[in-house]
Structure 1
């Protein structure tokens, strides 16, 4: 049985006493080495969850427990050593004049010795395919390259939990695919607990579990395949259903028996090929 890393216990939050609740009575658990996707339309509360996890915000009601510690003013700095976050706009995270300076920054603040810093800069940049850009100025990088460096900067401090808050939102489809593959590789290699926060259902297929937010509440929590099967309900709460899921439904309507809800084109093609082979 896997260890609990994160617990939300009846958490509610709002930006000021007179403001509406952004989160209402949210309860969920996330386990060690698990990949969780948190999805929802803009304003659903998903990015607020990310900021609560990293201690950037504090809930008015409920408790947040990370690795056995309740998140509060006394524990926040210890927790931030274990929880790294990559934001939507990597420019907001850059502090160094070169790529290697930026990756070194977090380690310098934590008192890493120089030899260890050099080793980790090389390892983390290699892990995200940016080892050839050590002396490049961050503003000269493409959007996807910037996000890779932002991920490397967080990995360098060896977090237990990595949060990507809409980290691909500013990228084109090719850049999004590349970053998600990088994230998948990094998570597997480093045994991270990974939380990806997005409004794009295409990005949840690799996750083990999906939490769907709607109007500040948990609307559903299930496996990606189960979430994809609820197409009409997802549309009603403002989420776009992936094309492969729509196509599978169209095929069913004309009498083609799709055996399972496909998560991607490869699964659908394999299903169709198997069906063709039997006929």
Structure 2
């Protein structure tokens, strides 16, 4: 197995001494090159985890290690070189007057040599399919295009970890699909550890593992297929079940015995075709 890149050790957090605990004794690991989806209803603690990883917040109890280094006020700037984050609203991340300027911003702050900056701008914009928009003003882009540029801006600093915190929440279904496809391609090429924070179960099918949060605690951790098999339990903690999983259950009730829990429509169709060919 790959080495541990992120480790939470009995981490607890609350936003004030009189406030309830948002996270309660959370422990988990994320490995190098792994894609982990963290899901849960609103207020379950998943976005707090993202902010703790990036050092925007610090735990009141427990400790967090990134690549073996504890996250604290002394190490925070080193940690942020390793962890890149894309938020829900890309407009909050734009600082440049053009797409190219925005991608260059993080590298300029780190003193990256100009020749290397030019190469990285080209590579990262190409990776997200935005190379033809280098000189476009960000406000002229669609929501999906803005998120692609935000991802490119983070990739340009060569992080080991990329966090998407509800990064598709403001997009339409087509835009969500395009962003997740882009992210999947980037992760494969860059060998990044990828963390996607979401409450949309449709987005987690490509992940290697899923961590399910409920009321500040880890409710479950498993593969997407194992998580989707627990439909009734997911509904009980306020999570919607993907349509393909509902359809699969309806088919089973009609006596059609599928061989596995389908993650998407393609798997369901393939299973139905195999069953049909055997009859």
The TM-score with structure 1 as length reference comes to 1.00
Provide the residue aligned with 1:262 in structure 2: 262
- After superposition, give the CA deviation of every residue in 1:6-43 in whole Å (9 maximum; x if it has no partner): 00000000001000000000000000000000000110
Q: Secondary structure at the match of 2:101?
A: helix
Provide the residue aligned with 1:45 in structure 2: 45
Provide the residue aligned with 1:121 in structure 2: 121
Measured in 2, the distance between the counterparts of 1:97 and 1:13 equals 37
Measured in 2, the distance between the counterparts of 1:213 and 1:164 equals 16
Q: Secondary structure at the match of 1:267?
A: helix
Q: Pairwise mapping of residues 55-70 of structure 1 onto structure 2 (< 5 A)?
A: 55-70=55-70
Q: Secondary structure at the match of 1:121?
A: helix
Regions of 4+ moved over 4 Å: none
- After superposition, give the CA deviation of every residue in 1:64-120 in whole Å (9 maximum; x if it has no partner): 000000000111100100000000000000000100000000000000011111110
- After superposition, give the CA deviation of every residue in 1:178-209 in whole Å (9 maximum; x if it has no partner): 00000000000000000000000000000000
- Whether 1:131 and 2:119 are equivalent positions in the alignment is no
The unaligned stretches of length 5 or more in structure 1 are: none
- After superposition, give the CA deviation of every residue in 1:212-237 in whole Å (9 maximum; x if it has no partner): 00000000000000000000100111
Measured in 2, the distance between the counterparts of 1:237 and 1:55 equals 28
Provide the residue aligned with 2:176 in structure 1: 176
Query: Number of aligned pairs?
Result: 279
Measured in 2, the distance between the counterparts of 1:139 and 1:42 equals 29
- Whether 1:210 and 2:214 are equivalent positions in the alignment is no
Instruction: Give the deviation of 1:47 after TM superposition.
Output: 0.2
Provide the residue aligned with 1:99 in structure 2: 99
Provide the residue aligned with 1:145 in structure 2: 145
Q: Secondary structure at the match of 1:25?
A: strand
Measured in 1, the distance between the counterparts of 2:224 and 2:235 equals 16
Measured in 2, the distance between the counterparts of 1:200 and 1:57 equals 24
Instruction: Give the deviation of 1:124 after TM superposition.
Output: 0.3
Provide the residue aligned with 2:240 in structure 1: 240
The unaligned stretches of length 5 or more in structure 2 are: none
Q: Secondary structure at the match of 2:238?
A: coil
Q: Secondary structure at the match of 1:164?
A: strand
CA root-mean-square deviation: 0.4
Measured in 2, the distance between the counterparts of 1:207 and 1:115 equals 35
Measured in 1, the distance between the counterparts of 2:235 and 2:142 equals 33
Provide the residue aligned with 2:224 in structure 1: 224
Measured in 2, the distance between the counterparts of 1:184 and 1:69 equals 27
Measured in 1, the distance between the counterparts of 2:31 and 2:56 equals 22
